[in-house]
């Protein structure tokens, strides 16, 4: 098993790190610096949903594609320029990072972070709700499946994990992707997850509530889950969480969600999958280029991921983080300084055991005749290829037919 903290030392010594920072053209084969990891014994999956349709074209910037600049006179991120820190951070000579994603560059250079571009759903819908539904159910075009892809994964994977925290949704409403027969915890704050009242009677009150919720209706099952979670969390609730290795989570909902999740994992609560949301990406107007609305969101996103990675680095061989959004945004900027709903987008994959430092997928280009529909980036990789590869190779679940029904032509990209 690689120890990530020692990697940089190894890479530095061999001079490879310096090499990796030069601009390499996209066609040059990437050398895999990590052995292809088989699934670990206790894999943990963290799924981050960027809600609203994040603008992938300004996240992983195709600065080598001249049509990008033709489509976006106001919103384009400038080509990489060492003197200008508002310009794209070059990754491989063709693609670059949005400058506000600077905290992720180090993870990229360490090969812990990969990106997939022009990835998404085959369904053409531009409706947020439908697109999210399809992605979270894992069945584009189909709404009959009442379970989510992660819910089905948990269901079919043989496991002795009986922890109430096996599946955690950060927030007040359980994410659709987690829905399934394995009960899920909706959690906002560890410190608050207990009954508050007269100390003398609280134990008996809790006991009575437990007996009131002992039926077999669905509401009873949720009640029992709640009480089980309360008991488990009681063990760590009084400890003030100090992130490891000096990690600092950004304030705000996203950062705090990740910090809560980190605390649960560090306390060995048995977390196996977690869903985290970050919203606000529906930038129809005043999107901003290197800064502004989207820039601020990206900064929060990057700082959150970097903090989590730093905090959890001793466990990263078990953890895989994947980000997605329901669709990307149109190549052409609109008249309000923003972008409308699009199609192809970016996914990030972060963790131990992935072949990072590369932009995966086939770039269709932004030439007019290569755009999809009303002018969107085309999709050349199905999102299920990415999630399927993670599910099989990192989570050790080969039963992809159950996780992604009606999808058989998986085309793994070698991200894991």
Partner 1 sequence: MSEQTITRRSFLKTSAWASALFAATPFWATDLDQPMPAEYLSPVPLKTPIEWTTPADFAATDPAVLALNRIAFGPRPGDVERVQAMGIEAYIEQQLAPESLDDIHVDEMLRVFPSLTMDIPALIQNYAVPFMKSANGKGKNRMTAGGGLFGSPDDPTQMGGMPMMADYRLQGVLELVQATLLRQVYSERQLFELMVDFWTNHFNIYILKNQCRVLKTWDDREVIRKHALGKFRDLLMASAKSPAMLIFLDNVNNVKGVPQENYARELMELHTVGVDGGYTQSDVQNVARAFTGWSVEAPRRSVLGPDYAEAGSFLFRPRQHDNDAKTVLGMNLPAGLGIRDGEQVLEMLAKHPKTAQHISSKLVQRFVDDVPPPALVARAADTFLKTDGDIRAVMSTILHSDEFKTSFGKKVKRPLEFIASSLRALDASPTDVDLKKVALKGALGSKLQTRKRQPDEPIARTLRALGQVPFLWPAPNGYPDAAAAWVNTNNLLTRWNFSLALTSGRVLEFDAELAPAAQGATPDALVNEWSEKILHRALPDADRAKLIEYVRGDNSPDNGRVANLVALLLASPHFQYR
Window 355-374: residues binding partner 1 (CB under 8 A): 373-374
Rg of the chain on CA atoms, in Å: 22
Instruction: Assess 410 for contact with partner 1 (CB under 8 A).
Output: no
- Return the range that interacts with partner 1 (CB under 8 A); candidates 14-22, 130-138, 260-268, 357-365: 130-138
Task: List C-alpha distances in Å: 188 to 164, 173, 197, 303, 336.
Answer: 15, 10, 20, 20, 35
Binds partner 1 by CB under 8 A, chosen from 19, 32, 35, 212: 212
Closer of 11 and 264 to partner 1 (Cβ) = 264
- Restricted to residues 284-313, the positions that interact with partner 1 (CB under 8 A) are 284-286, 292-293
Least distance between partner 1 and beta carbon 380 (Å): 21
Total site size for partner 1, rule CB under 8 A = 84
Least distance between partner 1 and beta carbon 133 (Å): 5
Instruction: Assess 133 for contact with partner 1 (CB under 8 A).
Output: yes
What tokens were used for 391?
Answer: 């599910």
Least distance between partner 1 and beta carbon 14 (Å): 44
Nearest to 153 by CA among 34, 322, 303: 322
Instruction: Assess 216 for contact with partner 1 (CB under 8 A).
Output: yes
Instruction: Assess 402 for contact with partner 1 (CB under 8 A).
Output: yes
Instruction: Assess 272 for contact with partner 1 (CB under 8 A).
Output: no
Nearest to 91 by CA among 28, 33, 176, 178: 28
- Restricted to residues 57-116, the positions that interact with partner 1 (CB under 8 A) are none
- Return the range that interacts with partner 1 (CB under 8 A); candidates 84-92, 103-111, 224-232, 375-383: 224-232
Instruction: Assess 161 for contact with partner 1 (CB under 8 A).
Output: no
Closer of 253 and 363 to partner 1 (Cβ) = 253
Instruction: Assess 414 for contact with partner 1 (CB under 8 A).
Output: no
Q: What are phi and psi of 404, to 5 degrees?
A: -125, 80
Instruction: Assess 52 for contact with partner 1 (CB under 8 A).
Output: yes
Least distance between partner 1 and beta carbon 33 (Å): 36
Binds partner 1 by CB under 8 A, chosen from 93, 188, 241, 414: 188
First and final CA of the chain: distance in angstroms?
Answer: 15
Question: What is the C-alpha separation between 379 and 6, in angstroms, rounded?
Answer: 37
- Restricted to residues 382-401, the positions that interact with partner 1 (CB under 8 A) are 401
Query: SS3 string of 8-44?
Result: HHHHHHHCHHHHHCCCCCCCCCCCCCCCCCCCCCCCE
Binds partner 1 by CB under 8 A, chosen from 25, 219, 238, 240: 219
Question: What is the C-alpha separation between 126 and 123, in angstroms, rounded?
Answer: 9
- Return the range that interacts with partner 1 (CB under 8 A); candidates 65-73, 215-223, 312-320, 376-384: 215-223
Question: What is the C-alpha separation between 373 and 161, in angstroms, rounded?
Answer: 45
Q: What are phi and psi of 99, to 5 degrees?
A: -55, -30
Contact by Cβ (8 Å): 53, 128: yes
Instruction: Assess 198 for contact with partner 1 (CB under 8 A).
Output: yes
Closer of 279 and 362 to partner 1 (Cβ) = 279
Least distance between partner 1 and beta carbon 74 (Å): 13
DSSP H or E run through 97: strand 96-97
Closer of 7 and 284 to partner 1 (Cβ) = 284
Binds partner 1 by CB under 8 A, chosen from 130, 161, 380, 410: 130
Binds partner 1 by CB under 8 A, chosen from 4, 11, 104, 229: 229
Nearest to 189 by CA among 167, 206, 210, 172: 172
Least distance between partner 1 and beta carbon 215 (Å): 7
The CA angle 279-173-341, to the nearest 5 degrees, is: 35
Q: Is 1 exposed, middle or buried (0-12, 13-18, 19+ CB in 10 A)?
A: exposed
Question: What is the C-alpha separation between 270 and 275, in angstroms, rounded?
Answer: 15
Closer of 103 and 338 to partner 1 (Cβ) = 338
Q: How many residues does the chain have?
A: 416
- Restricted to residues 337-356, the positions that interact with partner 1 (CB under 8 A) are 340-341
Instruction: Assess 406 for contact with partner 1 (CB under 8 A).
Output: no
Question: What is the C-alpha separation between 379 and 371, in angstroms, rounded?
Answer: 9
Instruction: Assess 329 for contact with partner 1 (CB under 8 A).
Output: no
Nearest to 59 by CA among 18, 17, 91, 93: 91
């Amino acid at each position: 098993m690689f120890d990530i903290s020692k990697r940089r030392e190894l890479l530095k010594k061999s001079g490879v790190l310096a090499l990796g920072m030069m601009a390499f053209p996209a066609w040059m084969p990437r050398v895999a610096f990590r052995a292809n990891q088989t699934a670990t014994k206790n894999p943990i999956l963290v799924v981050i949903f960027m809600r609203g349709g994040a603008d992938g074209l300004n996240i992983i910037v195709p600065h080598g594609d001249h049509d990008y600049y033709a489509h976006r006179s106001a919103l384009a991120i400038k080509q990489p320029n060492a003197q200008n820190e508002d310009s794209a951070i070059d990754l491989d000579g063709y693609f670059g990072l949005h400058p506000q994603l600077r905290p992720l560059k180090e993870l990229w250079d360490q090969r812990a972070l990969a990106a997939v571009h022009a990835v998404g759903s085959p369904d053409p819908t531009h409706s947020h709700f439908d697109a999210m539904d399809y992605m979270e159910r894992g069945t584009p075009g189909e709404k009959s499946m009442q379970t989510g892809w992660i819910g089905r994964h948990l269901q079919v994977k043989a496991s002795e994990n009986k922890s109430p925290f096996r599946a955690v949704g950060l927030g007040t409403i359980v994410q659709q992707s987690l829905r399934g027969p394995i009960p899920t915890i909706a959690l906002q704050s560890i410190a608050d997850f207990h009954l508050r009242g007269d100390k003398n009677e609280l134990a008996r009150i809790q006991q009575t509530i437990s007996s009131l919720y002992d039926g077999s209706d669905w509401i009873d099952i949720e009640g029992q889950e709640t009480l089980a979670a309360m008991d488990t969390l009681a063990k760590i609730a009084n400890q003030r969480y100090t992130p490891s290795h000096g990690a600092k989570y950004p304030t705000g909902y996203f950062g705090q969600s990740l910090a809560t999740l980190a605390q649960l994992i560090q306390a060995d609560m048995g977390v196996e999958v977690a869903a985290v949301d970050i919203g606000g990406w529906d930038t129809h107007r005043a999107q901003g280029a290197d800064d502004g609305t989207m820039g601020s969101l990206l900064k929060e996103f990057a700082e959150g991921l970097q903090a989590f990675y730093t905090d959890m680095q001793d466990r990263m061989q078990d953890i895989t983080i994947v980000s997605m959004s329901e669709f990307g945004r149109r190549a052409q900027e609109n008249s309000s300084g923003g972008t409308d709903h699009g199609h192809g987008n970016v996914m990030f994959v972060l963790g131990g055991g992935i072949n990072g430092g590369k932009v995966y997928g086939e770039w269709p280009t932004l030439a007019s005749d290569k755009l999809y529909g009303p002018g969107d980036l085309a999709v050349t990789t199905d999102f299920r290829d990415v999630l399927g590869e993670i599910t099989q190779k990192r989570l050790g679940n080969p039963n992809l037919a159950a996780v992604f029904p009606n999808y058989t032509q998986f085309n793994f990209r070698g991200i894991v």
